[in-house]
Amino acid sequence: MEYPKEWQLDVFLSDYPCMKVRPSSNTFLRLVGDFAFTADHPEHGELSDIFRLEISVPRGFPKDLPIVKEIGGKLPNLKHPDREDFHVNPDCSLCLGSPLRLLMKLAETPTLPGFAVCCVVPYLYAISCKLKNGGNLPFGELAHGRDGLLDDYAQIFGLTSRVSIVKVLFLLSLKKRDANKRPCPCGCANRLGRCNMRFKLNRFREIACRAWFNEHAKQLYLSLGEDKVLL
C-alpha cells in the first residue's frame, strides 16, 4: 500500500528508529518494533521506557484510528484479571482513549509522529508509571467500555445526559441542513439551527465522517438501556 507523504512516515521512523515497516496488507500499514520514548509530567516527573508495539495504520488515517497492540509481554494478557486496569481492550489492542477524543487530537496533528506523541506516548507514560509504582493510572481515569465513552463524550460536548449525547452523535450522522431542523439536544427547546450548540457540533463534522458518527451512535444507543425510550 502507498503511504501518503502527509503521514510523515519518514519522520516517525527517525523518531522511533527501532520501529520498522513490516509487510502490510492493502488496508493497513504495519509498524512493528521497540517503541522508546521519554516523557515528562509536571507532577509525576520525567520517565523513559520501551514497549514492543505493533501499530496498524488504516488506509483512512487520520480519519480512521490506528490499532496499537503491545506484543512484548509487558502488559497483562487477555486472561489476566488486571487487564482492564491497564486499559487493554478484549481484542488485545490498547485503549488509548475514547475514539472521538483521539480523532480530535489527530485533527490537530494528522501525522504518524503526531499520533505517536499525542495518543500513544501519554498512554504508555501512564502505564509505565503504574508498572513501576503500582496503584492507579496517574491520570484521571475513565470508566471502561461504554460507560467510559459516555463520560468522556459528556465532557467533550458539555452535556450531562446520556440520551443527549447519543442524540448529538445521531445529529452528526445527518447532513448539516437536516440536523439543523431537528430539536437541539442541549435542552434549549429550539431547533438545533437556532441554538449556538450548532457551532460546537459543526466542528466535529471535520474530524469524522457522517457514517462514522452513525455507526458510533448506534453502538452507544445499545448501551442506553431503559433510557432508549427518551430518544
103 binding Zn ion? (CB under 5 A) = no
Among residues 19, 123, 20, 11, the alpha carbon closest in space to that of 65 is found at: 123
- Work out how close the CB of 179 gets to Zn ion at its nearest, in angstroms, rounded to a whole number: 12
- Work out how close the CB of 156 gets to Zn ion at its nearest, in angstroms, rounded to a whole number: 16
Nearer to Zn ion, 138 or 193 (CB): 193
Cα separation, 183 vs 91, in Å, equals: 38
Among residues 87, 155, 151, the alpha carbon closest in space to that of 125 is found at: 87
186 binding Zn ion? (CB under 5 A) = yes
188 binding Zn ion? (CB under 5 A) = yes
102: which residues sit within 8 A by CB, 6+ positions away? 65, 96, 119
Size of the site for Zn ion (CB under 5 A): 5
Kindly tell me the burial class for residue 53, based on how many C-beta atoms sit within 10 Å of its own C-beta (0-12, 13-18, 19 or more). buried
Grid coordinates standing for 133?
509504582
**Which residues in the 193-222 window bind Zn ion by CB under 5 A?**
195, 197
Residue of 184, 208, 217, 220 interacting with Zn ion (CB under 5 A):
184
Nearer to Zn ion, 57 or 195 (CB): 195
Q: Which residues bind Zn ion (CB under 5 A)?
A: 184, 186, 188, 195, 197
